[in-house]
Chain A
Amino acid sequence: KQEVTQIPAALSVPEGENLVLNCSFTDSAIYNLQWFRQDPGKGLTSLLLIQSSQREQTSGRLNASLDKSSGRSTLYIAASQPGDSATYLCAVSEGTSGSRLTFGEGTQLTVNP
C-alpha cells in the first residue's frame, strides 16, 4: 500500500527566505506527482504536476523535482512571501489507471512579515 510522507509537518520562516518542502513515497510505480496548496477551510489548488518521466517542473517562484527511483520529491519556494502561507500537500497518482491520488498530510507553512 502506497504511503506518502511530508516533512516537516510545519515550518515558519521570515519573509524573503528560500525554502524546501519534502515529500517521500513508498511505491515508485506512479503515473505522476502533484503539489497542491490548501488555504484554511478551502479546497486544493494545483501548483505543479510532474509526470513520472520528468525530473522537474517550474512555475514562477516554485520549482518541484521528482526522483522516482528513490521515492522523493521536493518543492522549492524562492523568495517567500506572507501570501505563501498555507498548507502544501503532495499527492501521487497511481492505481490501474492512475486515477487514485494518494496524499501526504501536508506541510503547514507560515511566512512571517
Chain B
Amino acid sequence: DAMVIQNPRYQVTQFGKPVTLSCSQTLNHNVMYWYQQKSSQAPKLLFHYYDKDFNNEADTPDNFQSRRPNTSFCFLDIRSPGLGDAAMYLCATSRDLKGTGQPQHFGDGTRLSIL
C-alpha cells in the first residue's frame, strides 16, 4: 500500500524550462517535506509544510518553490532549472512536527534530469 506517492518517477526537462514535481500522501500527516539528493550524497532538506505553514531552509535556492493546496498534496516547482538541479527529489511526511518519536515516511522519489 503506497502511502507517499511521487509522480512522475522520472522527469526530463530542458535547461531553464519550469518543471513541477508532485507528491501525495494517504497518511493524513500534518507535515510534508521536500529533500534534494544528488548522486552519492546525503539527502538535503529544502523546505517543509506544517499544515499550511511554509518553512524554507536558509540555503534553499530562490529557484525552488512549493505549494500545498490541501493536506494530501504538495508540489515542488523549479522555476528555471539549471544543470546543477539534476538530482533525486524526495518527498516525506510525518504526523507532527515534534521530533521525538515521529518517523518520517518517504516516497520513492522523482529523478530529475536536465537537458
Contact = CB atoms under 8 A, between A and B. Distances in A.
Interface of A: 4, 30-32, 34, 36, 41-46, 49, 51-53, 89, 91, 93-95, 97-106
B41 A105 contact: yes
A112 B101 CA distance: 34
Interface stretch (B13-21, B62-70, B79-87, B102-110): B102-110
A62 B33 CA distance: 27
Nearest to B43: A103
Interface residues of B, number: 33
Contacts of A99: 31, 33, 48, 50, 55, 94, 97, 99
B101 A32 contact: yes
Q: Which 8 pairs, one residue from A and one from B, show the smallest C-beta to C-beta distance?
A: A98-B99, A31-B99, A103-B42, A93-B99, A44-B106, A43-B108, A97-B97, A43-B106
Interface of B: 4, 6, 31, 33, 35, 40-45, 48, 50, 55, 57, 88, 90, 92, 94, 97-109, 111
B55 to A, nearest CB: 7
B104 A46 contact: yes
Contacts of A95: 99
Contacts, number: 81
Q: DSSP majority for the A interface?
A: strand
Contact of B108 (A42, A46, A49): A42
B94 to A, nearest CB: 8
A94 B42 CA distance: 16
Nearest to A34: B103
Contacts of A106: 42
Nearest to B44: A103
A58 B53 CA distance: 35
